[in-house]
């Protein structure tokens, strides 16, 4: 499958730079699989399509304020995007303008110091010398908004670039399909007799990685950490209705834990 098949023109004025003022009011395109008819609804209409006995699966990962800015020993300002904690005080990062950074450099962000230890794949391993990630993200971190939004983050993004049910810190991007869910919508889903289950997928740096291969099937998707409990898999396997995977992160998780041999999903904690 050639990448040219997926190229199209998207006028810049049609790219939403901000969420709607009220969460849950985004447009919703509904495709009837049998007739092919398309209906335009609103996100708060979702409960109308969910029935008693269905299961809704959500990704409860929480986006870190992991986009930061440091200065090199020569005073050059570089962007450091923290992606994954590898061990205590050691993180895997992407560094913008990396040509200005050398191995063993100590980078400074106000009272936070990190040392560049080594290169790894497209990024770097860095170690905190003074301070830690929690302090850095809370005091100086920015939400890692998608580059295509082409704007600086604002204080409201700390709330709006997370779901209302996010609870497990670690992602570098939000599970976008769930950003428009509200507590009222979730309550309406449960009132219909459906169950809501939570899984975890920490969205990783692969979400930012461009596809350079002409044949997209040759593109290597970066691994991501997932966690699904036995309680959740038992309920999914016993579901008599439909299972709703809210977003691609949930779909990837469920596909990753499905056993062709046993014809069911299995509990798992690790990388996809």
SS (H, E, C) the chain: CEHHHHCCCCCHHHCCCCCCCCCCCCEEEEECCCCCCEEEEEHHHHHHHCCCCCEEEEECEEECCCEEEEECCCCCEEEEEEEEEEECCEEEEEECCHHHCCCCCEEEECCEEEEEEEEECCEEEEEEEECCHHHHHHHHCECCCCHHHCCCCCCCHHHHCCCCCCCEEEECCCCHHHCCCCHHHHHHHHHCCCEEEEEEEECCHHHCCCCCCCEHHHCCCCCCEEEECHHHHHHHHCCCCCEEECCHHHHHHHHHHEECCCCEECCEEEEC
pLDDT of residue 221: 81
Q: Which domains does the chain have, with CATH numbers?
A: 26-63+153-271 (3.40.1780.10), 67-141 (2.40.10.240)
pLDDT of residue 58: 98
pLDDT of residue 212: 82
pLDDT of residue 205: 74
Q: Model's pTM, two decimal places?
A: 0.89
pLDDT of residue 150: 86
pLDDT of residue 121: 83
**Which stretches of the chain drop beneath a pLDDT of 70?**
none
Q: What is the pLDDT of residues 131-175, one digit of tens each?
A: 999 999 999 999 999 888 889 999 999 999 999 999 999 898 899
């Amino acid at each position: 499958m050639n990448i040219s098949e997926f190229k199209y023109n998207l006028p810049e004025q049609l790219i939403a730079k901000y969420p709607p003022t009220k969460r849950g009011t985004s447009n919703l395109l509904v495709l009837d699989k049998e007739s092919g008819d398309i209906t335009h609804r609103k996100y708060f209409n979702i409960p109308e399509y969910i029935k008693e006995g269905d299961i809704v699966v959500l990704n409860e990962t929480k986006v870190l304020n992991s986009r930061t800015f440091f200065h090199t020993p020569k005073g050059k300002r570089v962007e450091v995007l923290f992606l994954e904690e590898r061990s205590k005080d050691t993180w895997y990062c992407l560094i913008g303008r990396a040509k200005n950074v050398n191995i063993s450099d100590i980078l400074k962000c106000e009272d936070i110091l990190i040392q560049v230890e080594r290169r790894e794949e497209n990024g770097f391993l860095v170690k905190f010398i003074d301070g830690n990630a929690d302090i850095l993200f809370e005091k100086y971190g920015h939400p890692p908004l998608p580059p295509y939004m082409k704007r600086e983050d604002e204080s409201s993004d700390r709330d709006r670039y997370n779901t209302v049910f996010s609870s497990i810190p670690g992602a570098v991007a939000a599970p976008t399909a769930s950003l428009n869910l509200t507590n009222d919508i979730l309550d309406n889903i449960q009132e219909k007799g459906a169950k809501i289950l939570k899984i975890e997928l920490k969205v990783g740096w692969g979400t930012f990685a461009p596809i350079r291969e002409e044949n997209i099937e040759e593109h290597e998707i970066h691994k991501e950490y997932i966690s699904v409990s036995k309680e959740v898999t038992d309920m999914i396997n016993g579901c008599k209705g439909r299972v709703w995977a809210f977003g691609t992160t949930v779909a990837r998780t469920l596909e990753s834990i499905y056993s062709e041999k046993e014809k069911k999903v299995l509990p798992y904690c690790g990388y996809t």
